[in-house]
Amino acid sequence: MPAEKVLIVDDEKLVRWTLRQKCEEWGYQVLEADNGAAGLRMVHNETPDCVLLDVRLPDVTGLQVLDQLKQTGEMPRAVIMITADARVDDVKSAIKLGAYDFVEKAPDFHDALEVTIKNALEATRLRTELETLRGEVRRRSGFHDVVGVSPKMTDLMNFVRKVASSEATTILIQGESGTGKDLIAKAIHYQSRRQDRPFVPINCSAIPETLMEAELFGHERGAFTDARDRREGCFELAHGGTLLLDEVAEMQPGIQVKFLRVLQEGSFRRLGGKSEIKVDVRVVAATNKDPIAAIRDGALREDFYYRLNVFSLSVPPLRQRIEDIPLIVTGLVEEFNGKYDRRILGVDDAALKILMSHAWPGNVRELRNVVERAFIACEGDVITAKVLPAISLATVSTAWSGNADALTVPMGLPLRDVAKQFVLRTLAAENNNKTHAADRLDISVKTLHNMLRRWGLLHPTTSSSGPGSVP
Ligand SMILES: Nc1ncnc2c1ncn2[C@@H]1O[C@H](COP(=O)(O)OP(=O)(O)O)[C@@H](O)[C@H]1O
Ligand SMILES: [Mg+2]
């Protein structure tokens, strides 16, 4: 490891000279500046690891230098303020602005300084090491932030592993909105041999046809009015890597034809271009629609669908894997602790029970929003039921036993409530498919309808929807 650089910013020549002797003795490479402006320039050009910053400088104060570093985003790993007379106010402001510590120029201050520099650099070293290590672990496992312990998710992740390492060039991911299709697409990419090449996502629903074509295939200069320069499209950018086609069922049919051609031939032309460009891209397409229904409606071309659907994965809705909720929530709380700089420990049992009994029509995305709102509202160190935002009445059961397929109910609950919870949980487990739920409950669909009507839960539009399973 090369010697770490220490920059001394002080207007007194003698102070600089003594500090230089000491710092070199401690094994650092030393830089000097005798005023604030020179110090800032030196930070910009030399990126020192540590800055020893005098509070009083001829041109500006040390605090102003600190402020400037913060504003330009050039804050070194550690800044240590040095001063002849430390005033509490200065100390406070400096620490607030990001200084690591304050050292007073007392007669024997060198020993203290040696330790402070060492600690400051050690702290940041540990932090960056930890960050690289985390990134490494993620990259190796490929599962980034996908959390799941349920059999459904562990099966899915096993399948992801197989598909990722296969040579399949097209993969289709289905699942309701918010179930984690984007995450799974990334997991596929980072588990594949393509992991060091780009992952390029493009959302098909947001883009009109002409623009989409330029986005995907790029264009030559002058290909159309606005094409002032040549631009590479997503296919080229993703070369060697993975292209995620999000909301693929919303793609304009005209583009579907062109896309299919590219998939079949492995090459394309930029708009206004003459030469064929060969690419090696794996296409992962995602949709929250039932593709068979989309084909029936004429939105999705059948030939395109069959080309995409070489491998197909389906991400289960959250209500079918309630046992994943505690772990996902723990992960979210950890994430928000970082984002909001808080130290919240988690959610208490009562709150968890509520979270585990909601049907989560918006899946993990909805859960995330609810936990974030509760997190912000939370004043103590544990999220309680009191701070949970009101979740819609689509709750499934109020009693959770810790097993996805089991339902425990407290003694003394009226029989009709037991029946209601049981029926609703079964419905949720069957993705609101009434035929399947009635089947499992061994009652007729008509009886089920009557029950739901009695409980005021039958909406005229709720038919057995949800992602249909595709051959
Ligand atoms: N298994 C999971 N563990 C942790 N977070 C998840 C999981 N699945 C989804 N999320 C989070 O939920 C949100 C929605 O996920 P996303 O992949 O965008 O869903 P989709 O593409 O299916 O609509 C994201 O913030 C994502 O990080
Ligand atoms: Mg998505």
Q: Domain boundaries in the chain?
A: 5-134, 146-316, 317-398, 400-471
**pLDDT tens-place string over residues 158-190:** 899 999 999 888 999 999 999 999 999 999 998
Max Cα-Cα span within the chain: 94
Number of Cβ atoms within 10 Å of the Cβ of 449: 13
Helix residue spans in 192-312 (DSSP H): 209-217, 234-237, 253-265, 291-296, 302-308
Give me ligand 1 centre to Cα 383, in Å: 21
Task: Decide if pLDDT at 454 tops 90.
Answer: no
Strand partners, 231: 219
Tell me, using a 6 A CB cutoff, whether residue 316 lines ligand 1. Answer: no
Assess contact for 235 and 279: CB atoms under 8 A: yes
Give me ligand 1 centre to Cα 340, in Å: 20
**pLDDT tens-place string over residues 60-112:** 999 999 999 988 888 898 999 998 877 778 888 888 888 988 888 887 788 88
| Region 326-337 average pLDDT | 83
* pTM for this predicted structure: 0.59
In terms of CATH architecture, what is 317-398?
Answer: Orthogonal Bundle (1.10)
CA of 420: how far to CAs of 84, 133, 385, 409, in Å?
75, 49, 23, 11
Q: Could you identify the atom of ligand 1 that is nearest to the CA of residue 288? A: 22
Strand partners, 141: none
| Residue whose C-alpha is closest to residue 103's, from 11, 10, 4, 33 | 10
SS3 32: strand
CA 52 to CA 10: how far, in whole Å?
8
Q: What is the mean pLDDT of the chain?
A: 83
Token pair 């060091």 is found at 196
Give me ligand 1 centre to Cα 435, in Å: 29
Q: Could you identify the atom of ligand 1 that is nearest to the CA of residue 246? A: 21
**pLDDT tens-place string over residues 125-164:** 766 666 555 555 544 444 556 777 788 988 998 899 999 9
CATH number for the region 5-134 comes to 3.40.50.2300
Assess contact for 176 and 317: CB atoms under 8 A: yes
Vertex 236: Cα angle to 232 and 240 (nearest 5):
155
Q: At what angle do helices 415-429 and 445-454 cross, to 10 degrees?
A: 120
Assess contact for 9 and 54: CB atoms under 8 A: yes
| Region 331-342 average pLDDT | 84
| Region 311-316 average pLDDT | 94
Banded pLDDT at 281 (limits 50, 70, 90): very high
Which of 124-138, 230-244, 383-397 has the highest average model confidence (pLDDT)?
230-244
Query: Does 146-316 match 5-134 at the fold level?
Result: yes
- CATH 3.40.50.300 is held by the domain 146-316: yes
CA of 178: how far to CAs of 58, 242, 287, 335, 416, in Å?
57, 21, 11, 18, 33
Q: Could you identify the atom of ligand 1 that is nearest to the CA of residue 364? A: 12
CA 418 to CA 422: how far, in whole Å?
6
Assess contact for 234 and 241: CB atoms under 8 A: no
